[in-house]
Amino acid sequence: MNPAEVLIDHALGLEWAALPEPARQAARIFLHDTLCVGVAGANAPYADAIRAAASGWGAGSECSVLGRPELRLPAPSAAFVNAFQIHSQEFDCVHEPAVVHPLATIASVLIAEAERSGPYGGEDLLTALAAGVDVAAGLGVAATTSLKFFRPATAGIFGCVAALARLRRLPRVVALDALGYALAFAGGTMQAHTEGKPALPVQIANAARGAITAVDVAVAGLPGPLRSIDGPFGYLTLFEDGYDLAPVLESLGKVHRIAEVSWKPFPTGRAAHGAIVATQALMAQHGLTADDLESLTYSAPPLIKRLVGRQVIEGMGPAHARLCFPYLAGLVLTRGAVGLGDFTAASLADPALHAIAAKISVEDNGDPDPAAFTPAVAVARTRDGRELRIEVAAQFGSPAWPLSREQHLEKARSCLAFGGLEAIHAPLAALLEDFEHLDDAAAAFRLAAGREP
């Protein structure tokens, strides 16, 4: 059995009618969430530099860029810019068990392809999205050891190719060749995460652009490697230290990974969300304030310590701060929450926030699961000798604790406002609510770009 064939056969064979309603609803909701987050990303740090770079990569004007009505680019470049914008502020949805941000890559290629070779109906686009998430998140779930490569990019490109194959109804042999070229183009390391550099969203952007290129090369007739997943130099062999793919392949068609995706209620690394909510609970339930605080320790699985346990440093940039729980807890203790506007140069250098952050730490609780986010506990000690505790069993925004409809819509509105397009909030929400009935799915994407649908 060739796992690449099994994954491609699943993607090509998936139909909207086969998806249960929870998976359908998740596809609508998270496409909406992703578009709005991408619009906010138009005003993210380095977004102008990314657009300037992509604008020099060749002529073409077929595809839209979220939140930028005046800008149109060739499909690979548009996918690159949109993917960067979607992930640039750490506000995009995530599949926690896989440690993959599937829609940042997959939605970006589908947005571009819908305008390049469409029209495609909303039903086909949502089905392609679900198929791509099955592949990208499935590869992440198959890993049994902690990540050393940046899985949202390395697994993401395979999900993108599967989604494009389903949307375009590619012949099976061409789709398999394209998956082989996804292996050729796969890349992304955790070094950018370790250093807190904006190379993280660039790696996601590169995966989106690479997926379109992989499909184009295969459609042009170049045969690709066939054992792209499990060959001696295949994806899982090279990128993961340990894996068990058999349960994932067995689950195809029975488990729909799109229904396992989590919102991000805050524009930070997902690993910080449980700790942010725990800090809010310490304030709401125990009256904790910044002035009261002697120390705050968040004890959590090793992934949390690794991803957001870093300390505040002088001169840190937004990418470092979004992955720094001590800074984020300082924001919560002084402002009540964490928002898109909390990563300005003034905030990042605020000595009062730095002083609070110096009292806050993350510790490894020894959980053996390399992908676990919970259970965790926040323990605060106050100046008057009290010890306050909050247990964390689930992360806000996860399938076990989802956003309400009102919370989802408020996040969408705030993202559009940050990107300067709050006026499209109601019409965009209406389009996404009934998305599968659109004859031309790109109408929603044109609206999210700030143009007429």
The widest CA-to-CA distance across the chain, in whole angstroms, is 72
42-69: average pLDDT: 94
Peptide bond into 119 cis (omega under 30): yes
Coil/strand/helix, residue 79: helix
Q: What percent of the chain has pLDDT over 90?
A: 97
Q: What is the pLDDT of residue 303?
A: 93
Q: Is the pLDDT of residue 60 over 90?
A: no
Two tokens, residue 300: 């959590």
Tens digit of pLDDT for each residue in 75-92?
Answer: 999 999 999 999 999 999
The rounded distance, in Å, linking the Cα atoms of 168 and 125 is 10
**Among 117, 178, 89, 190, which residue's Cα sits nearest to residue 147?**
190
Question: What would be the CATH architecture of the domain defined by 3-265+405-448?
Answer: Orthogonal Bundle (1.10)
Q: What percent of the chain has pLDDT over 70?
A: 100
The rounded distance, in Å, linking the Cα atoms of 193 and 303 is 13
**Among 154, 137, 150, 147, which residue's Cα sits nearest to residue 10?**
137
Q: Is the pLDDT of residue 61 over 90?
A: no
Tens digit of pLDDT for each residue in 307-355?
Answer: 999 999 999 999 999 999 999 999 999 999 999 999 999 999 999 999 9
Instruction: Categorize the per-residue pLDDT at 405 as very low, low, confident or very high, splitting at 50, 70 and 90.
Output: very high
Q: Is the pLDDT of residue 364 over 90?
A: yes
Q: Is the pLDDT of residue 424 over 90?
A: yes
Q: Is the pLDDT of residue 452 over 90?
A: no
Domain limits of the chain?
3-265+405-448, 271-392
Q: Is the pLDDT of residue 453 over 90?
A: no
**Among 266, 265, 264, 268, which residue's Cα sits nearest to residue 322?**
268
The rounded distance, in Å, linking the Cα atoms of 187 and 183 is 9
Say if pTM beats, i.e. exceeds, 0.95.
Answer: yes
Instruction: Categorize the per-residue pLDDT at 404 as very low, low, confident or very high, splitting at 50, 70 and 90.
Output: very high
Instruction: Categorize the per-residue pLDDT at 109 as very low, low, confident or very high, splitting at 50, 70 and 90.
Output: very high
Average pLDDT of the chain is: 97
271-392: CATH homologous superfamily? 2-methylcitrate dehydratase PrpD (3.30.1330.120)
